Chains A and B, each alone.
Chain A
Amino acid sequence: MRAFTQVDGLVAPMDRANVDTDLMVPKQFLKSIRRSGFGPNLFDELRYLDEGEADSDNSRRPINPEFPLNFPRYQGASILLARENFGCGSSREHAAWAMEDYGFCCVIAPSFADIFQSNALKNGILPITLSALQVDTLFERLYEEDKFRLRVDLEAKTVLLPDGELWSFDVDAFRRDCLLKGLDDIGITLERADVIRSFEQRHRERFPWLFEDIVL
């Protein structure tokens, strides 16, 4: 996983509550067996005026000029500002892959759906939870100022506003450590293989029926 330490990035708005992962990556793109290449289809139905298919040439599709991510002022954004319950619905990790592939490494919202939050953290994307009031403030400033940027420091757990105001945020200590070092979960867990094996042995004695081969 790509490590995340600090980012000084342009902020783009996604000004609606309950953004679901179907909206982030519509179903037709889930046919891909790859992990990469979802960026051009992030928010596909909002971004383009036609209906995209898995094999569409996205560079030739008509762009929706009214969708903020298509505005010139937000090109190159790496921080997405959103409303509550961001990433609800389907568990599709394609949503996180699309965010990463598009170039976002951070999402700020008042709350996140559990599965998306977990998927994001495993893909080098930092979800930052701020209060609804703070998020309101960020939206106001974002709309007022051209090229509104934030500086996010994961080590210090802070967000620095352009006027010098510094806000702190909370993040799961384990996830923070993984992100800072770019660690992959599986490697960490396999370091505990002996502990898992001895648990498994006790579990097997207690619940032997759970360990029978599946014979169909």
Chain B
Amino acid sequence: MAQTLYDKLWDAHLVEQREDGTALIYIDRHLIHEVTSAQAFEGLTLAKRPVWRKSANLAVPDHNVSTLASERRGGLAALPDPVSRLQLQTLDDNCAAFDVTEILLDDPRQGIVHVMGPEQGAVLPGMTVVCGDSHTSTHGAAGALAHGIGTSEVEHALATQCLIQRKMKNFRIEVTGHLQAGVTAKDVALAIVGRIGTAGGTGYALEFTGTAITGLTMEGRMTLCNMAIEAGARCGLVAVDTTTIDYFRDKPLAPKGEHWERAEIWWRTLQSDADAEFDAGIEIDGSAITPHVSWGTSPEMVAGVHGHVPRMVDMADETARNGLARALEYMGLSEGMPISDIQPTAVFIGSCTNSRIEDLREAAAVLRGRRISPTVDKALVVPGSGLVKAQAEAEGLDQVFLDAGMEWREPGCSMCLAMNADRLLPGERCASTSNRNFEGRQGSGGRTHLVSPAMAAAAAVMGRFVSVDEVLSSGIETRGGI
């Protein structure tokens, strides 16, 4: 019978199907970080349970690390916040006690778990991947079945190497045509979430297909799958093709020699069959997608950069009107206003959505030879990993950001979730390349607008949301001069 990519991955990892509809699914790779693992390791300790298979696990600190070079220089012991230090030390202690491999805070390969994983080849096509983080969906870009899980499931995966799952339904999102210049995977992701809503993918595995998707780089596919959870789907998927295989060819933990040959044969089968049936599907014209900006407090509240904030009369029902009213009040916006009138005073380029080298190149291309607007008083660029940072520095991108008046930080999750000191002040408005614009997400009272790295850079220069073209033709060409 014809199968979808999700069906194939499911079947390859199905340990046991039970009569009640649940199944045991085998987990190949478990990524671990400091925020959702401590209670799981404590559970193992209390129940005197060992880790099932040590080689499946790889840990890295990322969510709650300082991104200031001055604070990172002295290592973990020198971090100023004692609560954070204890959490990070607990990860180190647990990894040591349970013999789990960890990339330590001062290792040059440290980074956001979803950037580090593929970069090291710790995530590979055809794997099942779990992590106590909802953005684990990122790894579907590799043709891997990757689920975000809670801490009880982290403990379950550590103890049993399995998850108890119910098979999800299949949802195909076909993006046809080719993206216009200045339109990125982030815009595609925001357009999709805007179209199907934050619960549109609940209960489904989303597979992204079509020429606009196959035309994306691996980094772009990661950005797209990363935000599958913003549409309610635990996992997003892109079929394996030559782009995928070429990406993993030289990764440190990728199979070598005869194992690579065997792996490649299996990976090449990781596509949905031509006549596979999906339970749901939509088609989007990729060539019609414009650069997107979120205006509200949910990732489905988006508009094109040349569009407008919706009006109350456009809302379908009372709950939607209440939602819009609350979002407008929180965001300090008025109904119907043009997106291009929104003026962020902070800019954040980073997160597991958009902190890879390609993202930094994209932002730097807009910022090169320009300065950020005098109205922007906070501008952070946080590379996704130490290796991304080193590559960016080798290309001189750090200098482009510094010359523009931005800060160049150490790798970590930073202001995407604002667990560390990188956060918005109440009322502060931010152009952010992260994934969530929930109330308080980037700091209590902070106002988040989700955009691509190029759009964040453009907003930094102009002090309001504009398309990249407008910056390039604005006459703001040389440093400080208008």
Contacts and interface: CB of A to CB of B under 8 A. Distances in A.
Interface of A: 15-18, 20, 22-23, 26-28, 30-35, 45, 51, 54-55, 83-85, 88-93, 96, 111-115, 118-119, 122-123, 172-174, 177, 185-186, 188-190, 192-193, 195-196, 199-200, 203, 207-214, 216
B24 A196 contact: yes
Interface string B23-44: 0101011000001101100110
A126 to B, nearest CB: 15
A196 B58 contact: no
A211 B323 CA distance: 48
A210 B127 contact: yes
A45 B149 CA distance: 25
Given A186-B155, A190-B159, 14 more contacts: A23-B439, A27-B418, A27-B441, A92-B150, A111-B199, A114-B232, A172-B21, A174-B164, A189-B24, A189-B156, A189-B162, A193-B160, A203-B13, A210-B124
B202 A114 contact: yes
Contacts of A190: 49, 159-160
Nearest to A193: B160
Given A196-B15, A199-B26, A174 B21 contact: yes
A174 B234 contact: no
Nearest to A199: B15
Interface of B: 13, 15-16, 18, 20-22, 24, 26, 28-29, 35-36, 38-39, 42-43, 47, 49, 52-53, 55, 58, 63-64, 83-84, 86-87, 90, 101, 103, 107, 109, 120, 122, 124, 126-127, 132-134, 148-153, 155-156, 159-162, 164, 166, 198-199, 202-203, 229, 232, 234, 252-253, 255, 259-260, 262-263, 266, 298, 319-320, 322-323, 326, 417-419, 426, 436, 438-441, 444-445
Nearest to A1: B152
Most chain B beta carbons < 10 A, residue from A33, A51, A54, A55: A33
A153 B439 CA distance: 35
27 contacts: A18-B199, A22-B417, A28-B419, A31-B35, A33-B90, A51-B445, A85-B199, A85-B202, A88-B232, A89-B229, A92-B36, A115-B234, A118-B149, A123-B152, A177-B20, A186-B156, A188-B164, A195-B24, A196-B15, A200-B26, A200-B161, A207-B28, A207-B126, A210-B28, A210-B29, A210-B124, A211-B53
A18 B198 contact: yes
Contact of A17 (B87, B323, B440): B323
B432 to A, nearest CB: 14
B116 to A, nearest CB: 11
Contact of A93 (B152, B159, B259, B445): B152
